[in-house]
């Protein structure tokens, strides 16, 4: 998790991002994840929409391609985030490169915060999972971005597609309730969830990047265990967590969560788009 503060320009963020990736590799990282919308440092709350939307860049722009080349050079996967150029309004996007510099996943935030400034963004079309080749072997990886975590369907769909690890770029205060959501997404889907936030020196953020490994019970343990294997503080820095994939896979073969005992034929209401919204709090701020 690259819990770092932006520099104020795309060029500055590019330079700082490269240095952070190199440092992460020196620390032993196999995957480096940026916070949400790193290309502009998520500077959208305090500026007119026409100003920040004009800063959108293409998903195949030099900014993005440089991180692909860097992934190949370092032999380390990189999840770079950006405000992506898109018809009818930009997208809030993650591009994941594998350790060979190949683009494995392009995910645009599905649950944009339409109650606020993100109403100027174009939501993504859906969720997908990719096979990511790391130095430790293959891992099935999916992604959510920030507000996506508040919808259980996001992680559930990724789990159903085989996700073992969900990457979550973030830009908001990670208080106890939001951390509880991430813990729940990991627990109920038996999936690791890694969230990278901005440090407290960035307005409306407080660090707290986290990793939940999704393994609540061990064979020889008398009670459940804490699935949180990393909880960063408020400070800027690079934070690493070791994910035991073999432990996770063994756990998923024997435990009762995830897809083990679902009754999907009884969930039709979840996909009925004609249902009236029960409430809408327009004053909620993500």
SS (H, E, C) 263-275: CHHHCHHHHCCCC
State the pLDDT at residue 282.
Answer: 53
In this prediction, residues 190-212 reach a mean pLDDT of 98
Tell if the pTM clears 0.85, that is, is over it. Answer: yes
State the pLDDT at residue 277.
Answer: 62
Q: Which residue in the block uniquely carries the two structure tokens 């490169």?
A: 97
In this prediction, residues 13-25 reach a mean pLDDT of 98
Which of residues 275 and 70 earns the better pLDDT score?
A: 70
State the pLDDT at residue 280.
Answer: 57
In this prediction, residues 234-241 reach a mean pLDDT of 98
Contact between 3 and 195 under an 8 Å Cβ cutoff? The reply is no
Neighbours of 150 (CB within 10 A): 15
Contact between 107 and 93 under an 8 Å Cβ cutoff? The reply is yes
For residue 244, pLDDT over 80 is answered with: yes
In whole angstroms, give the CA distance from residue 95 to residue 23. Answer: 20
Segment (H or E) for 166 = strand 165-169
The Cα-based distances of 2 to 105, 169, 223 in angstroms read 19, 10, 33
Mean pLDDT value across the chain: 95
């Amino acid at each position: 998790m690259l819990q770092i503060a932006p520099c104020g320009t795309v060029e500055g963020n590019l330079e700082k991002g490269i240095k952070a990736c190199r440092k992460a590799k020196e620390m032993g990282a196999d995957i480096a994840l940026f916070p949400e919308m790193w290309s502009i440092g998520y500077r959208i709350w305090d500026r007119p929409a026409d100003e920040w939307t004009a800063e959108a860049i293409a998903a195949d722009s030099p900014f993005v391609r440089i991180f692909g080349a860097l992934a190949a050079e370092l032999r380390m996967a990189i999840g770079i985030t950006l405000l992506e150029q898109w018809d009818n309004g930009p997208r809030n996007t993650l591009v994941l490169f594998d350790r060979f510099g190949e683009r494995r996943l392009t995910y645009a935030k599905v649950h944009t915060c339409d109650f606020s400034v993100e109403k100027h963004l174009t939501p993504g079309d859906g969720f997908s999972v990719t096979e990511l080749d790391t130095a430790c072997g293959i891992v099935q990886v999916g992604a959510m971005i920030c507000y996506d975590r508040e919808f259980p369907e996001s992680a559930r769909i990724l789990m159903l597609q085989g996700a073992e690890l969900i990457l979550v770029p973030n830009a908001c205060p990670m208080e106890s309730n939001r951390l509880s959501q991430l813990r729940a997404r990991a627990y109920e889907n038996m999936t690791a969830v890694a969230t990278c936030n901005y440090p407290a020196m960035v307005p409306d953020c407080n660090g707290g990047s986290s990793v939940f490994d999704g393994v609540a019970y061990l064979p020889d343990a008398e009670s459940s265990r804490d699935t949180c294997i990393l909880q960063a503080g408020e400070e800027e820095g690079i934070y690493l967590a070791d994910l035991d994939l073999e432990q996770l896979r063994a756990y998923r073969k024997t435990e009762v969560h995830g897809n083990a005992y679902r009754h999907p034929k009884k969930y039709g209401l979840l996909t009925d788009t004609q249902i009236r919204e029960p409430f809408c709090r327009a004053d909620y701020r993500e």
